Structure 1
C-alpha cells in the first residue's frame, strides 16, 4: 500500500494530546453538602498533591482516538498499485438507408437495429471505448471515441432513418482506418445487407461483426422516373418510369400517373421475380407542374411506392443574329425550333437581353458578355499562304468533333473554298480532296470562346443540307427551294478571308474528282 499524501501523518501527533486530557485531574467545584459519606472517593482525589491521575478504561477515549486515526488515514490517501488490462475499441455502424424502414421487423428494421445497438452499449466494460457511425447517403460520426455509456446511448437514440440509398462502403472504410493496428478492435454493423459495391472492402482483414436485421424481401419499388417531350407529339410529355420487384415471387400491381394531384392514367403491370419492368405514360402538360407515379401494392416498404418529378415547359431561346444578310444562316436558326430570332447589323451593348449572340462576318463595336458564337469575325495571321479552289469534294468529316457531332455533309456541295497551309497546332475537323476546309481552333477573346476563321459551307439550291452550329443540336434540314434568284441578286459580295468557304447560288454540281498537286505541296482541285 502506498500513500498519495504521506505528509498527513504528521497529524498523528495529536493522539498524545487527546490522551493527556484524560490523565489530568479535573478541577472540582466547592459545594456545601449535608454529609461527606457518599463523597469519600472524590475527597481522596482532592487531597492528593499530584496533578495527574491514573488512566482508567474509558469508551469515550477509545472512540475519539479511533476517529482521529481514521481522519489521519483518509488525509494520507492510501492506494494499492497494480496492473489493469486496457479496454478494446469498438466501432458501431448503424444503417439508416430507406430499406431500413421495412416493417418485416417490429416496429421496423431500424428500430430493432437501434435496440440491439443499445444492448451492445450496455455490455461494454468500463475500459472499453466505442465510436458510433450513421451510414446513409453520407457517413456521419454521431459520437467520437469515448467510454461514457451515457454519451453513446444519447448518440444512438438521436439517429434517424432516411430515404436515401445505402453507401456502406464509406462507413466501412472509415471504420477500417479507426481500427487499423489496434489489437482487439471490432466493427459491429447493424444492417439488412441491401448495399451494393461491398466488393471494394473484400480481403482487407476488417474485424467485422455483422448483425443482420430483416426477415424477408417483400417489396415493389419505383427505381427510376424521367419526363421528356414526346418525339411524335411535342405538345405532349412522355413519362418514363421503372418498377423493381425484389421478392422471389411474381407480383402484380397498378401504377397511377398524376399531374399536380390530378389522376391522369392507371395501368396494370406484372413484374417477374427479382426483375424490373419499364412503364411509359403519354400525357398532356398544360402548365409547369409535378408529375407523380404511385403503385398500389401493399408491401413491407412504403417509402419507394411513390415518386415525383418537376416538369417545366421549355422556354424559347432568345437568339440575336448579327449579320450583313446571311439568309441561309437565318433560316437555319429559325428551323431549330423553340427559338426567338432577332437580326441586327451590330451589337451596341455588352449585355443584350438574349441567350445567345451569333456573329456572322461581323466584328462588333461592343463584344457581348454572354454566350457568343463568332464566325469569321476577326482577321488573323495564322496562315502563311492563302489560295482558292473550285468545287472541292468532301470525302470524310470528324463526327466526334464538338462542332460536327450533329452535322452531316452527305448532301452538301462546296463551290469554292480558300486553300490554306495548316499550322501544326490546328486540328482538322473535316477532310476533302482539295483542302482541309474546316479548321477548329478555339480562341479566347476577352474572356469568351470565339471561333475566328471557321469556314462556313452552305448547301446548294435544290439540295437539302444541314447548318453547322457549336455545341448545340442544330442539325436542322434546310430546303433549297426557299432560296430564290431574288435573294441572289440582293446578296452582297463579301471579301474572302482565310478559312472562309464561299458558296454561289446556281453553281452546285460542278465538282472536280481529279485533284492536282501544286508546287507548294498542297492538293488542289482544278480551278
Structure 2
C-alpha cells in the first residue's frame, strides 16, 4: 500500500483527544430529595465529584473513535499499487533515438557486463503494462525518422511482449516533436486515457507547446553521467604532389579528421586508420573534457575505402567509426590509346575536364605489345580501332578491371544514319546536351553488345551505347569524331565532362555518405535486376544485419532510396541482366546530435513545468486530478479530494450534534 498524503496523519490526534474527553467527563446522578433545604448539600457533593474516572464501555465512544479513525485514513489517501482502476486506454511512447543505445556497467548479479538504456526501457515498459496498465488497451508509438505506430489498442500480452522485444535504436535524425504531436492527436477528445513517455531525457526538440486532452507523464530511464568521444569529420584527398603525373611519381593520399570529447571527463584511446582492411597507422591520443582536436594523416597508401576507428572505452559506440573515399575528380588518370596521334579535340576535351592524360600511340601491323603504364590509370579511352594487344594478357585484365570508353571502334565500315530524328534517353552522359543539328556521316554496323543500352539513337541505330560489363562501366561512341561535326559544337566539352564523370562515379569505390534513415539519390544501373544494401563493416556488420533490398517502382528501381537505419559501411550490390554483379560502397553515419550525451533534461522539463506533465486546466479531463506519492509516483484520482472534504464535514457535524448528550452526562 502507498500513502498519497502523509501530512494528513496529524488528524489522528483526534483519537486520543476523544478518549481524554471521556476520561475527564463528569458523571451526573439523579438523586431524589425530600426538601429543598438539602440542595446546598447536594451541590457540594456534585462539585466534589472527581473528573478522572474509569473509562466505561460506551457505544457512543466506539462510534466516535471509529469515525475519527476512518476520517484519518481517508485524508491520508491510501493507494494499493496496481489495485487502482487502470485507464481504459494507455498510449505509450518509446524513445528509440540513438542515445538509447548508450551502455553502462550492469548491476552486480545481472549476468551481463554492460546494459544499455534500450534494454532498461524495454523492462520498464513491460513492468508498466503488467502492473499499472493491466486490462487496458495499449497503443505503442516509437520515435524514428517519423512517428511509427507499432500497436494500436492491443490487449494481447504476447503481441505486446513481442513488439517490445523488437524495439531497436534508430541512429538517424529522430522526429521527437512529430511523435508527441501524433500522440496528442490520437488521444484528442478521449476521457479515460493516459499518455506515458519512456525516455532517457535526451530529448532534442521542444514540445512544451503541444496540448493534450488527457494526463501525460514521463517515465524516466536512469541515464547517469555518460562519456563519449566522437569522430565528427573524416575525409581523404589526393596529395598535392600527385597533381602532376609522371612515370616515376608515387601515389599518396592525405586524410583529415576531427574528434570531439563532449563529456566532462578525460578520454584516452587510439586512432586506427585502415585502407581496404589493412592497418595503415595507429596513433595514441587523449582528449580533455569538452576538447575538439583535428589530426592529419600524410602519405597514405591508395585504397578504395578508408576506415577510421576510434578505439576507446566510451559509452556511445555509434560514432566511433567513420569511412571516406577519394572524391570524384580529385585524381583522374586517363590512359588515351589511339592509332597515330589521335583526335586533338578529344585530347583537349579530356584535359579541360580535369583529367591527367597519358597518351599511348600504336601502329597497325607492328605486332608489338607496349609495357603497362607505371601509374595505373583510373579509366581507359580508346579512339579508333581497338589495338590487338588490348585483347590478351595483362592489357586485357587492365581493360576488364577499369572503365572503358571506346570511340569509333567499328565506324570504318559504317553506314549513313539517314534522315531521322535523334532520340535520347535521360542519362547522366546526355545531361545538358542536345544532338539536334549535329551531323554524323557514318554509324558503325557492329551489333549492339549484350551489356549495352542505346542512350542516343538515330534512324533506329545506336549512336551512343552505355552499360556495365563485369561490374565495370562501358561507354561506346558508335561513330568516329572525324566523321562528325560534334567536336565543333558547344555541347562537346559538356559531353566529354559528363562521360568522364559517369565512368568514374560508376566505377569508383564510394557513392558517398549519408545520415541513417534519410533519403538519398542512389545511382542504380539501368540494367540492374537486383539491388540491395549489404552490411560490410561497423555496427551493421557487428549486429549481423541482413541485406536490405532497394525500393522498386513500376519502371524499376527508384532513384531516391531510404538509407539503412544502422551506421556502418554498406555495399550497394547490383546484379545486371547478364548475371554480372557490381559493388559500390556507402558510408552511413549516425545523427551527430545523438552523440552529445550531456543534454539530458529532468522529466519535469521535457514537455511542461511541474512535477508531472499535466495539461492546462481547460484541456484536462473532467473530474481528474493529479497527486504524487512520496516515492515520486504520480497517481490519478477521480474526484477523491472533494468527496473526502464532504465526508470530513459530515463526521464533524455528527460529533457536534452529540455534544449535548456529552454535556448532559448521558450516553449510549
Q: Look at both structures and tell me which one has the larger radius of gyration over its CA atoms.
A: 1
Q: TM-score range by the shorter chain?
A: 0.3 to 0.5
- Give the alignment's TM-score, normalised by structure 1: 0.46
Q: TM-score, normalised by structure 2?
A: 0.37
Higher helix fraction (1 or 2): 2
Higher RCO structure, 1 or 2 (CA under 8 Å, sep 6+): 2
